[in-house]
Chains A and B, each alone.
Chain A
Amino acid sequence: MVDALARRAARIPGVAYLLVALVLVFSILTPRFASAPNLFNIGTQSAILLLLALPMTFIIMTEGLDLSMGAVLGLAGVVLAMLLVNGSALPLALAAALGVGLLFGAANGLLVVILGMPPFVATLGTLGIAQGIALAATGGQSVVGIGNTLPSLYASSWLGLPFSVVVGAAGYAVFHFVLYYTRFGNYVFAIGGNREALMLAGVRSRWYHLSIYSLGGLMAGFDALLLTGRMSAGHPIAAMGMEFDAIAAVVVGGTERQRGNGWLPGTVLGVLSVGVLKNGLNVLAVPSSLQVASIGLLLITALLIDSIRRAK
């Protein structure tokens, strides 16, 4: 009986314990944490991060990394906001943001997959390019006056849930389906696990690998919808460092950088852990700079636990 319980407990991933522990600690420390408006707030913030963390899971599963996501999201947000300011319709502006994201994602894929550059340097380079364009286009200023369409869409609620949470849930459903129920998903596992075997089996693995990076850029472009809606403005460096939160969420969620070992529900728990940690520290009035430092600590701790487990 005790053995059976222990075995069942061993199968629960570490990130679930982490999330429960974080929620408990913050609930005890401050009553404001568990209030309904604050939980809503965590949900909406987490949705924005989740849209980056989902494709980041695929990328990390294939032994890759995308450091450019935050900068690309910032640039797509600037493009979206500028078009809205100029009176474009929202669908057109969103299409442009998606185009910008896809372009950068495809460029990352090209650099890593076709030209064989190490992913962290290739995407560090595209980070600089995306940030440079966003800064030069705006002169470093916020793009304001985007009208009411997007902010009111963002503020709307669907079936009692905030718009961004609905979008985040829909995004998760799509990625879950793709990863676990399609051939593309099988290839995501295989590219990380055994690329050689995949190529020998005649699969155009490079094409799929390139698509995974493109998907990352595309989602960063799409995320501009939520980020810009939330801020009612576009800002060139608004999303700076958000790729770091996404990487931390994926790693904390139990996806391993080797052997194609990915777990998408873990990414959701990782995103919520990052969201709860940041929000809880915020409610406790810990400065945002130390919140950033705490995510760094969280990431390194997760890597550490991972390496200890592997050593056993």
Chain B
Amino acid sequence: MIARRLIGVLLLSAALALSADAFPTTSNLLNVLRQASLIFLAASGVTLVILAAGLDLSIGANLGLSACLTAAAIKATGAISVGAAAGLACGTLIGIANGLMVTQLRLPPFIATYGMLWMVYGINYWYMAGETIYGFPAEFRALGSGYFLGVPAPVYLMTAALVAGGIFTRYTTFGHEVYAIGANAEAARLSGIPVRRRLMLVYTLSGAMAGLAGVVYLARLNSAEAGIGDPLLLPAIAAVLIGGTSLFGGVGGLFGTLIGAVILTLVLNGMNLLAINANWQPLVTGAIVLLAAWIDAAARKRAEARDA
């Protein structure tokens, strides 16, 4: 499954290299990698949630509020660490609230996190009151737009998240339990897995990663306004689905999401290089989500037919 997607990446890259001269330059390829890293950070937590057959629709709004609070905290205190801590804490708290709604109050995850989306969205627009906060210290901006040993800084964060997440999902009991819950929550419960506590953990991680992505995204843009996270929900979900993680739970993984993020970024980057109006991006991302969800649903139907 991963191999097929990697071939997709190669074919897509070859097509872009042939149609746009600016594509195969080092600076553009590093830019693609940087952009894909940002999408991966936002999508990594929600990958875990979807693996457990849940959903987190609040990550875009979460990312936005976390970025704005980080911006405000840096401006107020001048300390980068305080700002980053504020963003991470904000994201994590929203994740905990989602987890409590789903596990303790037993609300359906898509409606609960959808309600959370609009609550966080409203709070952020109220808090920012139409203002833009911009101009941050160079050391902070380096986190998003800097290079280390010739590689963009977010790529290191992405690698760290991928390695930590990969170990977590593949080699720990926790991780295996997340897959088991996604495959069949009732069976997981009967076999003694603390389902609610594991779900609590994945929703918290999803919120925390959205918070981290918010901090890095702010460092990249060097400017924060209330709408900063709104356009990121669809790409994050698209990356998860293109990466082969099933919406029905239990199938997929973080490496797939990374490939998904790269494929999506290649498409958007290619549109950019071919001078296609950016207004078409939601349409293309939406179409990609549908295509990936269709493939997922078809695979599930085949599996069901096989089992029956």
Contact = CB atoms under 8 A, between A and B. Distances in A.
Interface of A: 65, 67, 111, 115-118, 120-122, 124-129, 131-133, 135-136, 139-140, 241, 244, 247-248, 251, 257, 287-297, 299-300, 303-304, 307, 311
Contacts of B300: 116
A111 B290 CA distance: 8
20 contacts: A65-B111, A115-B298, A117-B297, A120-B110, A127-B286, A131-B283, A132-B279, A241-B118, A251-B111, A257-B111, A288-B125, A289-B123, A289-B125, A293-B119, A296-B117, A296-B120, A300-B112, A300-B115, A303-B107, A307-B107
A296 B126 contact: no
A133 B283 contact: yes
B118 A292 contact: yes
B106 to A, nearest CB: 5
Contacts of A118: 247-248, 293, 297
Q: Please provide the 4 A-B residue pairs with the shortest distance between their CB atoms, ordered closest to farther.
A: A128-B286, A132-B283, A293-B122, A289-B125
Interface SS of chain B: helix
Contact of B115 (A241, A288, A289, A303): A303
Interface in B131-171: none
A304 B112 CA distance: 10
Nearest to B291: A125
Which of B101, B108, B118, B129 is packed against the most chain A CB atoms within 10 Å? B118
B234 interface: yes
A129 B115 contact: no
B249 to A, nearest CB: 11
B264 interface: no
A300 B282 CA distance: 28
A293 B290 contact: no
Interface string B20-58: 000000000000000000000000000000000001010
A282 to B, nearest CB: 13
B13 interface: no
B121 interface: yes
Nearest to A294: B122
A299 B122 CA distance: 14
Contacts of A136: 277, 279-280, 283
A76 B253 CA distance: 39
Interface in B251-291: 277, 279-287, 289-290
B59 interface: no
Contacts of B237: 121, 124
B126 A290 contact: yes
Contacts of B282: 128-129, 131-132, 135
B283 A303 contact: no
A292 to B, nearest CB: 4
A111 B297 CA distance: 10
B280 A244 contact: no
A78 to B, nearest CB: 12
B1 interface: no
A126 B112 contact: no
B116 interface: yes
Contacts of B279: 132, 135-136, 139-140
Contacts of A296: 115-120, 122
A124 B289 contact: yes
B157 to A, nearest CB: 27
A241 B233 CA distance: 14
Contacts of A135: 279, 282
B18 interface: no
Contacts of A111: 290, 293-294
